């Protein structure tokens, strides 16, 4: 899959301005008939592409997203079941096949149009336009914290309510009673006047012949019975007894195992190999040379790995062998300076007149921040099982975009997409890494050489060194404070721009702002990393805001609070975190407290971190997290995602650092790419504000704010301002020793 951003999407040419509605007039129609053979067994009634009813009155919800621990396989069925008034005990889920009919048009629509309302006669056309485009783009992705807010809101709830509407109509027709006298409850239709009650299935056959409304009446939050409750997740029981099947667990008949070594310097090609020692080793089946890698196929992973270790591999040189991390930073600085002085920076946000504002009397503050490259390090190493024949290819893999994978494989093998089958499995962590089809394409290239299925498993070393990395970046700020401590000008320059678009933006009242960026290409591959650009910008902006508070001699919470007059949701979140964290109570000696406030994928999160300095060792005691996602459809799952995002961000803040040496990644495994463990894991308290705003995401929004809250707490305790992550590279000592 190519890089997908909101901008890229719009510039595909299909969805531009008015052409969106008028230029494309393909109606999606009722696609239930088309998908029925893929998703249903005999006797089941496919109500629409998102749900089917079985003879025993159980409902199966078809979820077009991958489960990687975020709970989407449970929360999305909850949204459909509630609108349908289904009995939750009778609801099952099934992951949608990697098929064009399940391209995420709802997701694309959500990204482009948000909650924009359309007259019902246009809905089919708009949906059709998006379906067409997402089919072409091969989008069936899980990411951008989007499942609930787009698929849930724009597909699941409507599918549930629409199905209920036609079931009610079918019952009214069958019983000859007025529609208004009927109600749906616990997967049955009731008519209280005649004391009749029959299960949904009794009306299903008739109901599917009726046209389901494009804009059915949806429930108000006070009518919810399933949404907003914390149902047990469907996937958990399999994850406590070892039976959950991850990609790496797939076993198919006659399968062999492979492992691979790709060129350590990104972009270089294979020159030659000497496999004399291993060619006849027992259990070794084949040594496969790829353009930029060598793989060994064997009877077991261990044999493959040992054999590969003994193959002498020479890669070509392409000039990148001389690049070290400092060269990249030097290049960044050069490119930023050149771009700025040539007036070539891209404008991200321009408000007021920054130039004049800096001429006004005031205190000018400048700072520069840096963040390193980061790997995803999903705990399940990259893997994919592939079986290639002359006219088909079957994959077994846990991925975040099965349709996109199928399209890439079809293109590689010159097959029709219908000849490629992707069997998506549980993902042992995604975090953005499993969007990329690199491993699947390797597996296909290897399996193409033999007539049996091959399971390709990467070593952890391969995983750390061949990721698609969150980029290293530099962000420079200059701001001016007036004598009352108000920010009157804000200038921010950084590199690169992906998603979410608002990542570098601040919620504070600053009339004059100039936010701008340029690009400084390197040979290090980039990828979506949990919270994407927010993972950097929250650290940059919320650290700098803290510096400004210090310069204004105002408490960091009060400083933020006083400049949020145009952002009432942010203000509520901030005030609640201060209250829950007892912001104004004194801390013990050598403790510190820090705060942050950031919006990411539609959810606003504030965090307060409490730390203690123990003989120059940092102890993170407690994180108080307040989040406003608009509405938390599964409160416990939402809390779990806040906890998860915080630990992920904490690992990055404390330890996360991928460095480049001689063109390749220096780190290789968990001993030098360190993770937060149980003994370093703080107490996390989450509080949710259901403000009623359009729903925001859950999987990513808590990751960005932990780093600045933590470094702000370190400043509070020690007086040391950390402007470059990770924290492990700084020697921390207590306030009195530093400031004197």
Partner 1 sequence: MILTINGKEHEVDVDPSTPLLWVIREQCGLTGTKFGCGIGQCGACTVIMEGNAIRSCLTPLHTSIDKEITTIEGIASGTKMHALQKAWIEEQVPQCGYCQSGQLMSALALLTDNPAPNDDDIDNAMSGNICRCGTYSRIRKGIKKAAIELASTPTLKTENHG
Q: How far is the CB of 17 from partner 1 (least distance, A)?
A: 40
Q: Does a cis peptide bond (omega within 30 degrees of 0) precede residue 726?
A: yes
Burial of 439 (0-12, 13-18, 19+ CB in 10 A): buried
198 binds partner 1 (CB under 8 A): no
Q: Which is nearer to partner 1, 171 or 653 (CB)?
A: 653
Q: Does a cis peptide bond (omega within 30 degrees of 0) precede residue 500?
A: yes
Q: Of the ranges 603-611, 612-620, 673-681, 732-740, which one interacts with partner 1 (CB under 8 A)?
A: 673-681
646 binds partner 1 (CB under 8 A): yes
**One symbol per residue from 436 to 475: x for binding partner 1 (CB under 8 A), - otherwise; what is it?**
---------------------x-xx---------------
For residue 149, which phi and psi values (nearest 5 degrees)? Answer: -75, -25
Q: How far is the CB of 253 from partner 1 (least distance, A)?
A: 13
In this structure, how many other beta carbons lie within 10 angstroms of the beta carbon of residue 739? 9
Q: Which is nearer to partner 1, 138 or 453 (CB)?
A: 453
Of the candidates 636, 719, 721, 724, which one interacts with partner 1 according to CB under 8 A? 636
Q: How far is the CB of 223 from partner 1 (least distance, A)?
A: 26
Q: How far is the CB of 130 from partner 1 (least distance, A)?
A: 29
Run of H or E residues at 307: helix 301-310
> Could you give the C-alpha distances from 336 to 118, 474, 521, 659, in angstroms and in order?
43, 9, 12, 20
| Residue ranges in 549-608 that form contacts with partner 1 under rule CB under 8 A | none
Q: Which is nearer to partner 1, 240 or 739 (CB)?
A: 240
Of the candidates 300, 364, 582, 662, which one interacts with partner 1 according to CB under 8 A? 300
Of the candidates 195, 232, 254, 553, which one interacts with partner 1 according to CB under 8 A? 232
**One symbol per residue from 400 to 429: x for binding partner 1 (CB under 8 A), - otherwise; what is it?**
--------------------------xxxx
Strands 196-199 and 256-262: unpaired
254 binds partner 1 (CB under 8 A): no
Q: Which is nearer to partner 1, 249 or 547 (CB)?
A: 249
Q: Of the ranges 26-34, 116-124, 138-146, 678-686, which one interacts with partner 1 (CB under 8 A)?
A: 678-686
Strand partners, 481: 363, 487
Q: Of the ranges 265-273, 298-306, 502-510, 518-526, which one interacts with partner 1 (CB under 8 A)?
A: 298-306
Of the candidates 643, 657, 700, 716, which one interacts with partner 1 according to CB under 8 A? 643
Residue count at the site for partner 1 (CB under 8 A)? 62
- Sheet order of strands, 683-688 included: 591-600, 603-614, 617-628, 683-688
Burial of 721 (0-12, 13-18, 19+ CB in 10 A): middle
**Distance separating alpha carbons of residues 650 and 710, to the nearest angstrom:** 8
Q: How far is the CB of 42 from partner 1 (least distance, A)?
A: 30
688 binds partner 1 (CB under 8 A): no
**Distance separating alpha carbons of residues 740 and 460, to the nearest angstrom:** 46
Q: Of the ranges 28-36, 500-508, 613-621, 679-687, which one interacts with partner 1 (CB under 8 A)?
A: 679-687
Of the candidates 229, 363, 659, 681, which one interacts with partner 1 according to CB under 8 A? 681
Run of H or E residues at 252: none
233 binds partner 1 (CB under 8 A): yes
Q: Which is nearer to partner 1, 288 or 457 (CB)?
A: 457
C-beta separation of 537 from 501 below 8 A: no
Q: How far is CA 711 from the centre of its chain?
A: 24
Q: Of the ranges 82-90, 469-477, 565-573, 666-674, which one interacts with partner 1 (CB under 8 A)?
A: 666-674
Catalogue the E-assigned strands of 192-311.
196-199, 256-262, 270-274, 284-289, 293-298
Strands 51-53 and 59-63: antiparallel
**Distance separating alpha carbons of residues 704 and 723, to the nearest angstrom:** 15
Q: Of the ranges 315-323, 544-552, 611-619, 669-677, which one interacts with partner 1 (CB under 8 A)?
A: 669-677
Q: Which is nearer to partner 1, 158 or 298 (CB)?
A: 298
Catalogue the E-assigned strands of 306-401.
312-315, 346-351, 363-371, 383-389, 392-397
| Residue ranges in 361-380 that form contacts with partner 1 under rule CB under 8 A | 377-380
Nearest to residue 406, comparing CAs of 441, 378, 367? Answer: 441
| Residue ranges in 158-187 that form contacts with partner 1 under rule CB under 8 A | none
Looking at residue 184, what DSSP letter applies?
Answer: E
Q: Which is nearer to partner 1, 373 or 540 (CB)?
A: 373
Q: Which is nearer to partner 1, 216 or 705 (CB)?
A: 705
Q: Of the ranges 1-9, 478-486, 605-613, 636-644, which one interacts with partner 1 (CB under 8 A)?
A: 636-644
Catalogue the E-assigned strands of 7-153.
45-48, 51-53, 59-63, 91-95
Of the candidates 45, 394, 531, 644, which one interacts with partner 1 according to CB under 8 A? 644
Residues recorded for the chain: 740
**Distance separating alpha carbons of residues 464 and 72, to the nearest angstrom:** 27
C-beta separation of 70 from 698 below 8 A: yes
714 binds partner 1 (CB under 8 A): no
Q: Of the ranges 220-228, 264-272, 589-597, 665-673, which one interacts with partner 1 (CB under 8 A)?
A: 665-673
**Distance separating alpha carbons of residues 106 and 62, to the nearest angstrom:** 14
Q: How far is the CB of 242 from partner 1 (least distance, A)?
A: 2
| Residue ranges in 258-287 that form contacts with partner 1 under rule CB under 8 A | none
Looking at residue 449, what DSSP letter applies?
Answer: T
Rg (CA), the chain: 27
Positions in the binding site for partner 1 (CB under 8 A):
68-71, 230, 232-233, 235-246, 248-249, 251, 257, 300-303, 377-381, 426-431, 457, 459-460, 636-637, 640, 643-648, 650, 669-671, 675-679, 681, 683-684
């Amino acid at each position: 899959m190519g890089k997908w951003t909101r901008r890229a999407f719009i510039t595909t040419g299909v969805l531009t301005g008015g052409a969106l509605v008028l230029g494309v007039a393909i109606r999606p129609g009722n696609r239930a008939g088309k998908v029925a053979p893929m998703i249903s067994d005999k006797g089941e009634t496919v109500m629409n592409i998102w749900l089917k009813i079985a003879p025993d009155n159980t409902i199966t919800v078809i979820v077009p997203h991958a489960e990687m621990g975020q709970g989407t396989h449970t929360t999305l069925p909850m949204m459909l079941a509630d609108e349908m008034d289904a009995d939750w005990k009778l609801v099952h889920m099934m992951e949608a096949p990697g098929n064009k009919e399940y391209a995420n048009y709802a997701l694309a629509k959500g990204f482009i149009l948000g909650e924009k309302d359309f007259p019902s006669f246009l809905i089919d056309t708009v949906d059709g336009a998006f379906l067409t485009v997402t089919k072409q783009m091969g989008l069936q992705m899980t990411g951008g914290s989007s499942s609930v807010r787009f698929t849930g809101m724009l597909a699941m709830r409507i599918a549930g309510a629409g199905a209920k509407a036609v079931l009610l109509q079918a019952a009214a027709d069958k019983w000859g009673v007025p529609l208004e006298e009927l109600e749906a409850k616990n997967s049955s239709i009731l008519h209280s006047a005649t004391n009749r009650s029959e299960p949904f299935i009794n009306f299903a056959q008739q109901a599917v012949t009726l046209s389901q409304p494009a804009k059915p009446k949806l429930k108000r939050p006070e009518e919810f019975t399933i949404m907003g409750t914390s149902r047990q997740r469907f996937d958990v029981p399999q994850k406590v007894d070892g039976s959950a099947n991850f990609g790496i667990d797939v076993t198919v008949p006659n399968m062999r195992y492979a492992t691979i070594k790709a060129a350590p310097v990104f972009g270089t090609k294979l020159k030659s190999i000497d496999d004399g020692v291993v060619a006849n080793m027992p259990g070794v089946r084949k040594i496969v040379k790829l353009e930029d890698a060598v793989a060994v196929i064997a009877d077991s992973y261990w044999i493959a790995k040992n054999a590969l270790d003994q193959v002498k591999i020479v890669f070509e040189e392409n000039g990148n062998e001389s690049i070290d991390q400092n060269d990249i930073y030097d290049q960044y600085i050069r490119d930023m300076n050149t771009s700025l002085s040539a007036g070539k920076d891209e404008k991200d946000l321009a408000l007021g007149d920054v130039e004049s504002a800096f001429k006004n009397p005031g205190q000018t503050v400048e700072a520069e921040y840096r963040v390193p490259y980061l790997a995803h390090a999903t705990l399940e190493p990259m893997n994919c099982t592939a079986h290639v024949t002359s006219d088909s290819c079957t994959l077994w893999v846990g991925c975040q975009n099965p349709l996109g994978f199928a399209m890439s494989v079809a293109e590689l093998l010159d097959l029709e997409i219908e000849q490629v089958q992707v069997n998506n499995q549980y993902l042992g962590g995604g975090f953005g890494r499993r969007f990329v089809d690199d491993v699947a394409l390797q597996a296909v290239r290897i399996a193409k050489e033999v007539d049996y299925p091959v399971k390709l498993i990467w070593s952890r070393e391969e995983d750390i060194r061949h990721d698609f990395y969150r980029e290293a970046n530099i962000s420079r700020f200059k701001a001016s404070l007036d004598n009352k401590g108000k920010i009157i000008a804000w200038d921010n320059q950084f590199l690169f721009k992906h998603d979410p678009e608002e990542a570098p933006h601040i919620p504070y009242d600053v009339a004059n702002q100039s936010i701008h960026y340029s690009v400084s290409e390197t040979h290090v591959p980039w990828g979506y990393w949990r919270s994407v650009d927010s993972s950097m910008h929250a650290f940059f902006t919320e650290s700098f805001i803290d510096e400004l508070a210090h310069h204004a001699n105002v408490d960091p919470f009060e400083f933020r609070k006083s400049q949020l007059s145009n952002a009432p949701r942010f203000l509520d979140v901030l005030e609640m975190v201060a209250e829950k964290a007892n912001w104004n109570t004194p801390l013990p000696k050598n403790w510190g407290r820090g705060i942050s406030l950031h919006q990411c994928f539609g959810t606003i999160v504030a965090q307060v971190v409490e730390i203690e300095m123990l003989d120059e060792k940092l102890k993170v005691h407690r994180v108080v997290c307040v989040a406003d996602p608009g509405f938390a459809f599964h409160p416990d799952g939402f809390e779990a995602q806040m906890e998860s995002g915080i630990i992920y961000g904490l690992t990055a803040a404390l330890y996360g650092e991928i460095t480049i040496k001689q063109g390749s990644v220096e780190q290789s495994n968990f001993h030098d790419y360190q993770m937060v463990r149980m003994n370093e894991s703080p107490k996390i308290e989450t509080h949710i504000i259901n403000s009623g705003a359009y729903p925001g995401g859950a999987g990513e929004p808590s990751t960005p704010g932990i780093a600045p809250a933590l470094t702000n707490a370190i400043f509070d305790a020690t007086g040391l301002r950390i402007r470059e992550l990770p924290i492990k590279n700084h020697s921390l000592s207590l306030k009195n020793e530093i400031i004197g």
